[in-house]
Amino acid sequence: MSEEITGKTAEEIFGSEIPRSEVEMWMKRAREQTPETLPAFLKEVQMLIPESYGNAVHKLAIQAIAATWAADKATGGITGLLAGCVMWEYIQFWMSNTNPQKLLDFGNMLYPQYEEHFTTISKDTFKWLQEEARKRVQEQNMAPRVREHMEEIIMGKVPFGFRVGDDR
């Protein structure tokens, strides 16, 4: 740790974050935005939420969600299914993450019919894992344990106790 931050509190380093209740209030207001109200709301968020490292996350999330709700209203509204697709577009294009992914709702562990969601990967995902492992083993230096793990995947071992199931 550098001398400049040794002995300082997290608040001194990152700035004071707004409380969760205030984030939730802003998020509630974000849902109400329309194409007409959005520009003023974005400016209000910038002006009224204090600058800090932690608040930068809140501010951007509030503004992005407000813009998404305004765009939703401009199109006449979309279904929950389409809203889920928008979420995956954010992950792919905002986070620059194109790996196969799965969002788990751990509340579903309360219901036996969801067991497959926590134990199974699709054939397409396992094929992708094998291809990616093959490429990385050929192109990268890695720790012996990582290389062994990837070679097992290449040979057909499904990692971490998962099994390959039907594509969904």
d(Cα 58, Cα 18) in Å, to the nearest integer? 8
Dihedral angle at the C-alpha atoms of 5, 10, 65, 110, nearest 10 degrees? 130
d(Cα 118, Cα 160) in Å, to the nearest integer? 11
Instruction: Supply the pLDDT for residue 23.
Output: 93
pLDDT 10s digits, 107-166: 988 898 999 889 999 999 999 999 999 999 999 899 999 999 999 999 999 999 999 987
Residue 2 has pLDDT above 50, yes or no: no
167 vs 53: which has the higher pLDDT: 53
Instruction: Supply the pLDDT for residue 9.
Output: 64
Q: Is the pTM of this model over 0.85?
A: no
* The two three-digit tokens of residue 104, written as one number: 């788990």
Instruction: Supply the pLDDT for residue 4.
Output: 55
Instruction: Supply the pLDDT for residue 146.
Output: 95
pLDDT 10s digits, 17-60: 889 999 999 999 999 999 999 999 999 999 999 999 889 999 99
Instruction: Supply the pLDDT for residue 3.
Output: 47
Average pLDDT over residues 60-72: 97
- Going by pLDDT thresholds of 50, 70 and 90, the confidence category of residue 6 is low
Quickly list DSSP for 58-101: HHHHHHHHHHHHHHHHHTT---HHHHHHHHHHIIIIIS---S--
